[in-house]
Each structure stands twice: as structure tokens, then as C-alpha cells.
A and B are shown apart, each in its own frame.
Chain A
């Protein structure tokens, strides 16, 4: 991967989803996480971080709001705050295309 690729969103296919325990927003975000991973058919992995269980991790990354979906492969990180219910918006923000759009992401 060249340096210029760092600005390419989701280059390593890994996002992080910060949630807080079993709050209603967390449930919606977790459901939406599955939908997104399904849409992208294995192209992206979304790691779940429960800030209640890992406050140090939230401190390190500077998370204030939950849920937050974050792409930390870029500098600076790109973050989407909220329960990510609008899948198309999420994909667009992180620069992904749906598999069935015919666009060859690789």
C-alpha cells in the first residue's frame, strides 16, 4: 500500500463501531452493522467496541458520542455519529459502493 492510499477510505476494509452497552441506540447500530456487512459482502469488517467494557479504548481514541462508526485507517479518522440507519449514506461517507452496483471496487 502506498502512502497516497492512506486517504482512500476503508482501504484496509476495517471499521470500528463504538457502542455503549445495551442502550437502544446500540441495538439499532448493531443491527445496521450486520446489514452493512451484508451489503458489502465481506468486503468490510466492522469491529465492535463497547465503551462500557473498554473505557481506556474510548479515552485513547477520543470517543465522546455513541454510537460512532469510525474509519481509523485514515489520517485524520473519519467518523459517523448516530445509529447509522441510512445505509446508503454510510456507504457513501466511507467511500464504499454496493456490490450489486456493478462497480468493481478492487
Chain B
């Protein structure tokens, strides 16, 4: 009895990496070896992908052969369906690295009279495992097994437990998928998790404001710790499931004291000498206040200093951005030709937020920029539920800082004259610096005003400065005499 309990709380359970990096982090390195994990999800939530990836990582990276017991699709269907993720299942089968047990429904008439067990299945599974010298085994999905013997639920439960026990005894790490009827209802149909699982993982594919939001959640890990809560995931061609890690797990960024230019010497002075190398700055303002101009300066200033700059545009086309820049005396074309600049424009609606994040990550890894501008975050906010957007911002800002890149993001105020947008509220705590651009009324004249609201780790100019925009860019002028209310509306501005 005590020994059994000791095993259960053994803190150094050996881990089996799934190959889904951020997921392995959630479960302290991988699934515990020799245990049974249930992966539950509604149809289309990615259970088979998760299961196949688990086997693929074992086969291709760690030389751990696997067995795939399929109760639903035929082996050939799985081969075809999983090919887009870059998994060459046919070759693995030929090399005996993967052995299928085909328990998919076959065409036969069947009737049940009297007692039976599933020794046929168990024998086939064990035979396949020994045949391949398997370390990992997938049963996809066990719910189908219940459906196959629909009037015999008790027998199937008993037999499934017998199978799970036998597989454990062989030292196999078992992954069973199970179907769910709803995203936030009971854990699985037939409550499979209650009698057979050491660990429970849930995949979700929830509809949120007309958009699909995929997440993974570790619900239970018997005898060991795990990170709680849902983590966004996405399905990527040639890769499989990619979990998008939340930065809150790793607050490890170093704070740099190196300053880089904002591209505008006067603004640099307001900021106490420029932006920090690994900081993210938010430029917030209504439409037409000069956000894109600041972005253009930021990119040009970097290129002039010999840096590489990346611009991800969500609002304007390349043509518009290049024309704007030319209007302010900046030649994006020449900068791109020199390899100092890369401009990528994409509609926010083209993909989900996790995919946007992955795209930025891939661009950064490929182009290796020293600075990055994102114009604008508000456009991205359109396509996302609030929680998803906050997660996205956390991931994005931490990624930028971790790579010691200077980041500049813009946010558009809905109101022309002050007030805060939701993205401002989210991002204001996540960014290191905030620059406000505002329309400020002075009697019968509308000025533009700029102020540095926050500059983490540095002194900065607290004044609200006038500025003008002309063919040479932005020019900062004198501070306002009165006290304009940059947060309120213009009616309460200068008298």
C-alpha cells in the first residue's frame, strides 16, 4: 500500500516529450512515462493530430517506435490526413517504426449473445507493440470502441481497464483520445477518464465571436505538478500542433540600458535619450495624429544606424505605406533593396491571432531584425475576443523583449480626441513606454500634441508638446501654455 502511494507521488517521474514544446513545458517536461493520458476533445479539436504528433516525435526525434490503434479512421486515411503535417507515416510503417492496429469499423454483420471479452483486441495490440519494440501507444478514439459495443458498456469499461493495465505493465506510455459533446461540459462521453486515466488533457475548439479559438488545457496530472489554464494552440502545416506559450511562465528578460534612436532626435530627447534596446513602446492616438509617421521614422532611424527593421502592417497596403514614407522623405524601397527593411502587410482577418503571432515569430527568426514595428494593434483587436487579445499581447511583447528587439506598436483611438481604447488598457501595463498623440483644441484651431506618458526605467519629458507634420516629417514645438486634458474630450481643453 505504502509503496503504491510512494510511486504515485514520485516527483521524478520520467517524462516523455510530446514534441509540442510549449505543452511539454506545461506538464514539466512531457507526459509521465508508463502512464495513461486521456486527451479529450470535441470533433475537430485536433485529437488525432495531437496523438500522431506524440508518436511522430518519438519516432523521428527520440527513436522510440510507436503503435497506433485506430478505432475510427483506417490506417490509409490517417496516412493521407496527416501527410500535410509533414509526417511520412508510410515510411515509418515500412521501417517498422510505427505499427497500426486497425480496429476501424469494418463491414460485417454482428450480433452479441452471451459473455465476451476483448482479448482479440488486447492480443493484437500487445503483438503490435512487441513487434515494433514500441515505447508509445495511441488508442484513437476509445469512445468509438464504446459505440462499437453500444449495448455492452460495462464489459467495454472492464476490458478497457484490462487493456490499459496490460499496456502499463509493458512499460508503454499510453495516450487515449476520447470524444466530448461540448467544450465546457462533462470531460468525456462514457466518463472514460474516471476509471482509466492518470492524466487528463483537454483540447478545445470553441466558437467565440464567430471565430474559432483553439486551446489546450491540462486538467489533471496524477502525482505531479502542471500549469493550469487554457493555452492557445494552432495547427501549422508541416509542424502539427503548436502551442503558443504565455510569457507569464517565463519572465526572464534582461533589462538593457542601451538606447536606440526613435528616428526623431527631438523625441529621443523627450524620452531621455531614445528608446531602450529591448523595450516595447506603444504609440497611441486617433486617426491622422501621426502614428504611422512615428513608425516610419522609427524604421528609417534604425536603417540609418545600420540596423535591420521589420514592419508588420495590418491597416495599410505596402503601396500606401511606401507612398506615405516617400511623402515624409523616407525611401522604403531603397531600404528594402539594401536588406535593411522588410515590410509585410496582411489583413487581420486573414488568420487567427495565434497564427499572427507565429507569423511574427517566424519573420523575426528569419529576418533577424534589430527593431520591429507593428501598425496597428487595434486592427488585430477587431478579430479577437478580449482574453485572446491579452494573451496575444503578452506573448508578443515578451517575445520581442526576449530577442532584444526594440519594438514600436501603434494603437488607434476610436475617439478623435482622447479617451482610452481597450488595447491601450491591455497594453499599457505590458509595454515599457507609452507615447500619446492627441488632437488638442485651442480656441478655433486644432493642434497636434505629443507626450511621453510612461518611460520605464528612465526620466522623461513630462510636458505636452505641440508638433507639426510637413514634407520632412514631424517637428516638435513648444509646450502648451494651458493644461489640455489629453484623456478627456476636447470640449474640456484649452480655453
> Complex Cα distance A16/B91, Å?
34
Q: Which B residues touch A58, using CB under 8 A?
A: 120, 123-124
Known contacts A59-B102, A59-B127, A65 near B120 by CB under 8 Å? yes
Known contacts A59-B101, A86-B114, A79 near B109 by CB under 8 Å? yes
Are the C-beta atoms of A66 and B117 separated by less than 8 Å? yes
Q: Is B361 an interface residue (CB 8 A)?
A: no
> Complex Cα distance A81/B117, Å?
9
8 A Cβ contacts from B87-120 to A = 101-103, 106-120
Q: Is A64 an interface residue (CB 8 A)?
A: yes
Q: Which of A17-25, A35-43, A97-105 contacts B (4 or more CB under 8 A)?
A: A17-25
Are the C-beta atoms of A81 and B110 separated by less than 8 Å? yes
Are the C-beta atoms of B111 and A23 separated by less than 8 Å? no
Are the C-beta atoms of B124 and A84 separated by less than 8 Å? no
Q: Which B residues touch A80, using CB under 8 A?
A: 110-113
Chain A nearest CB, measured from B112 CB (Å): 5
Number of A-B contacts (CB under 8 A): 99
Are the C-beta atoms of B120 and A85 separated by less than 8 Å? no
Known contacts A59-B124, A80-B113, A20 near B119 by CB under 8 Å? yes
> Complex Cα distance A58/B120, Å?
7
Chain A nearest CB, measured from B101 CB (Å): 7
Residue from A18, A20, A81, A85 within 8 A of B112 (CB atoms): A81
Which chain B residue has the least Cβ–Cβ distance from A56? B127
Chain A nearest CB, measured from B150 CB (Å): 13
> Complex Cα distance A90/B123, Å?
26
Known contacts A79-B110, A93-B111, A65 near B116 by CB under 8 Å? yes
Are the C-beta atoms of B109 and A78 separated by less than 8 Å? yes
Are the C-beta atoms of B109 and A76 separated by less than 8 Å? yes
> Complex Cα distance A52/B124, Å?
9
Which chain B residue has the least Cβ–Cβ distance from A90? B113
Q: Is B148 an interface residue (CB 8 A)?
A: yes
Are the C-beta atoms of B108 and A76 separated by less than 8 Å? yes
Most buried by B among A23, A59, A83: A59
Q: Which A residues touch B101, using CB under 8 A?
A: 59
Which chain A residue has the least Cβ–Cβ distance from B104? A62
Residue from B102, B115, B119, B123 within 8 A of A82 (CB atoms): B115
Q: Which B residues touch A84, using CB under 8 A?
A: 113-114
Are the C-beta atoms of B123 and A62 separated by less than 8 Å? no
Q: Which B residues touch A83, using CB under 8 A?
A: 114-116
Are the C-beta atoms of B108 and A25 separated by less than 8 Å? no
> Complex Cα distance A38/B435, Å?
95
Q: Which A residues touch B126, using CB under 8 A?
A: 55
Q: Which A residues touch B110, using CB under 8 A?
A: 78-81
Q: Which A residues touch B128, using CB under 8 A?
A: 59
Are the C-beta atoms of A25 and B112 separated by less than 8 Å? no
Q: Would you give the 0/1 interface string for A45-64, flagging 1 where the beta carbon is closer than 8 Å to chain B?
A: 00000011001101100111
Q: Is B149 an interface residue (CB 8 A)?
A: yes
Are the C-beta atoms of B117 and A20 separated by less than 8 Å? yes
Q: Which B residues touch A76, using CB under 8 A?
A: 106-109
Which chain B residue has the least Cβ–Cβ distance from A80? B111
Are the C-beta atoms of B120 and A82 separated by less than 8 Å? no
> Complex Cα distance A5/B82, Å?
41
Chain A nearest CB, measured from B133 CB (Å): 16
Are the C-beta atoms of B109 and A77 separated by less than 8 Å? yes
Are the C-beta atoms of A81 and B118 separated by less than 8 Å? no
Are the C-beta atoms of A62 and B106 separated by less than 8 Å? yes
Which chain A residue has the least Cβ–Cβ distance from B159? A65
Q: Is B121 an interface residue (CB 8 A)?
A: yes
Are the C-beta atoms of B109 and A64 separated by less than 8 Å? no
Residue from A20, A56, A78, A93 within 8 A of B108 (CB atoms): A78
> Complex Cα distance A78/B108, Å?
6
> Complex Cα distance A4/B103, Å?
30
Are the C-beta atoms of A81 and B124 separated by less than 8 Å? no
Known contacts A20-B119, A51-B123, A65-B120, A77 near B102 by CB under 8 Å? no
Q: Which B residues touch A78, using CB under 8 A?
A: 108-110
Q: Is A10 an interface residue (CB 8 A)?
A: no
Are the C-beta atoms of B113 and A52 separated by less than 8 Å? no
> Complex Cα distance A51/B119, Å?
8
Which chain B residue has the least Cβ–Cβ distance from A21? B119
> Complex Cα distance A78/B110, Å?
6
> Complex Cα distance A68/B149, Å?
14
Q: Which B residues touch A62, using CB under 8 A?
A: 102-103, 106, 108
> Complex Cα distance A64/B102, Å?
10
Q: Is A8 an interface residue (CB 8 A)?
A: no
> Complex Cα distance A90/B128, Å?
32
Residue from B103, B114, B124 within 8 A of A55 (CB atoms): B124
Most buried by B among A65, A83, A93: A65
Are the C-beta atoms of A51 and B107 separated by less than 8 Å? no
CB pairs A–B below 8 angstroms (25 shown): A20-B117, A20-B119, A20-B120, A52-B119, A55-B126, A59-B101, A59-B102, A59-B124, A62-B106, A63-B121, A63-B124, A64-B148, A66-B116, A77-B109, A79-B108, A79-B110, A79-B111, A80-B111, A81-B116, A82-B112, A82-B114, A83-B114, A83-B115, A84-B114, A86-B114
Known: A81-B110, A86-B113. 14 other contacts (CB 8 A): A20-B117, A25-B116, A52-B123, A55-B127, A63-B120, A64-B118, A64-B148, A65-B117, A76-B108, A78-B109, A80-B112, A81-B111, A82-B112, A90-B113
What 7 pairs between A and B have smallest CB-CB spacing?
A82-B114, A20-B119, A55-B127, A63-B120, A76-B107, A83-B114, A82-B113
Interface residues of B (CB under 8 A from A): 101-103, 106-121, 123-124, 126-128, 145, 148-149
